[in-house]
Structures are given as structure tokens and as C-alpha cells.
Copies of this chain bind each other. A is one copy, B any other.
């Protein structure tokens, strides 16, 4: 391990023009720099450096192309009204990255080192953090297996790379409920599999169902468990919550869903407000029953990209369930306002979630 050497910095000599604020979208534009660090079995993580954003060159036999050993993370940097730059819970992302690395038989990355990389990069490209309500800088750390060998064994070489993309508000006109298709045929993950790891293959596995849902006018898919197609897992790239008769429910972490950092933050906020919140196995049937009995008050998804995404309609085996008249619920709205308030430095941060970049 010679990982404690300082980060080498090579600045770009040809900075790119910034994209127009109203055209940002998600993950389309990338900043001027990126972070890279190499791993070999012999040297551990080494050669940590910030370089101009540029293509990467790999042997066509690199294991990432063949056996999918890869892990990624997603977090955001926000600019406050007084011009400070702050990250939302980056330590939580780096811890999760190492849990994913472990599941995928990939080497851990010292958390401090990874945080330093992210902070260093966010600092050098801080001009890229867009102003404006709901805009932010999306940070994508990822690890890929680079050894050029076709045997099916863990790679002995990796690269850890961080790229960043200025992103727009997920809902430019404020948060708006989405329609979600409850998937009864395709399965994303199951207990004993890699569902709780943030690894590339989980996302490729979901595309087909997602496309079918889109064709029917639904934004995303709500996954059910792989064994019985009865229990609620998560939505595309969000965890999911239901408010029933005053109590908020979300599926317990069972090994097949992602331990979302927004999910965790929402649970902590709710507890802080003394709103009852329960993590347990949740069947789709009981949600529909609560809906029919008039006890299902709200539903929302949670994730870094949208923060809070109210669910206005579910469709399970052709049966539609309209939630809260298809409107954003009060609690969803309040959580959204508080979380984003903390993220943009407009509200106090009682949990110590925000990490300032100096």
C-alpha cells in the first residue's frame, strides 16, 4: 500500500464551455477533470491523480467487459446561496462502495483516500456546480476490473475513477408524482444474489422491464421479490415508502435491495419528527388493501437523483391504484423541502450530514 502519497494534479489547458443551465439533464455533460487511481495485487491502490477528463484505454480482454466486476456510487455536491460547496453524506457512499466491493470480490478502497479524491475533484471543478433551484453536481465514483485475462476469477487489477456531471432539477416545476408499474414477470435481484451491491449488472438486468413499463406510460418499475413476486423491493433507482394510517412503512433491508442513503436519511428525519416509521417485509397486496380501505395516504420514492419522488399511481397486474388523488402528499413535500433545505444550506443540519469542500 503506497496509497498515502498525495494526489497528483494535472490541470486541463483546454477548459470546456459550461452547458446552458436549462439544458443540463442528467449525466450528459461532464466537468473538466476526473480522478483516477490504480490497483494491483502487488502495490495495492496507488498513483492517485486528477487529470483532464479524457477517454480511458483498456485491453479488450479487461475483465470488466467480460465478467462485469464493477461497482459504482452516486452522490451530489451542492452550492449554497453564500457560495460554499458541500457534499451530502459522502462518507456513507464510500462505506457502501466498500460493501459493494466486498460482495463483488473487489478490493476495498480506504475511505479517507476516496473522500479525499472526491473532495479534491469537487474543489478543482467547483465552477461546474450549477446555480439555480434544484441544480447540483452529480458525482460518479466507480471501480472497474482491468486485468486482461479471460479466466473467471476476481481480477488482480482495478481502476477507481471519479467523474462529475452538472445536473438539472429532476422536476423543473417542483416535485410531481410519477406513475409506477408493479413488475410481476421480470425479477431484478433476490436474496443470496447481488441486489444490495451497487454493481453494473443489476442495472442492465432491469432495462427490459423498464422499457416495457415506459411503453405503457409508466416512469419506472416497482420490483417484487424474486421468489414469490409478492413482496415489495424497490423502484428502479429509488427505495420506496408508503404512509398508511399515519405510519410510514418501507421494505426492510433484506439483502436484495440497495441500502439507499436517501432512504436512511428519510428514516432519520421521520424519527427526528416523531413520525412513526417501520421497516419490515411489505406485500404489494397489503398496499392495495390499504388503498381500497382509504388508509393509504401517500407513497414516495427516495434516491440521490430525484431526492423525493411522490408516487401518484401504481399498476399491478392491470389494476390501477391512485394514491392521494395523484397529487404530492404533505409529508412527501415536507421531507423534500427539509432534505433539500439541508443540502443547499438553507436549513440547519442537525445530523452533521453536509461535508464542506475547502
- Seen from chain A, the residues whose Cβ lies within 8 Å of a Cβ on chain B are 25-28, 30, 34, 53-61, 64-70, 72, 103-105, 138, 140, 142, 144, 148-154, 161, 163, 165, 185-194, 199-208, 210-211, 226-229, 236-237
Contact = CB atoms under 8 A, between A and B. Distances in A.
- In the assembly, how many copies of this chain are there? 2
B192 A67 contact: no
A8 to B, nearest CB: 18
B149 A28 contact: yes
Contacts of A53: 60
A152 B211 CA distance: 11
A194 B138 CA distance: 29
A244 to B, nearest CB: 28
Nearest to A228: B227
A65 B203 CA distance: 11
Given A65-B144, A68-B203, A208 B105 contact: yes
Q: Which of A67, A70, A151, A205 gathers the greatest number of chain B CB atoms within 10 Å?
A: A205
Contacts of A64: 64-65, 200
9 contacts: A65-B142, A67-B204, A68-B205, A69-B204, A105-B208, A152-B210, A152-B237, A187-B191, A194-B205
B103 A226 contact: no
Contacts of A151: 25-28
A70 B72 contact: no
A34 B203 CA distance: 29
Contact of A188 (B103, B148, B193): B193
Nearest to A28: B149
A306 to B, nearest CB: 12
Contacts of A26: 150-151
A97 to B, nearest CB: 14
Contacts of A207: 67, 69, 104-105, 152-154
A140 B144 contact: no
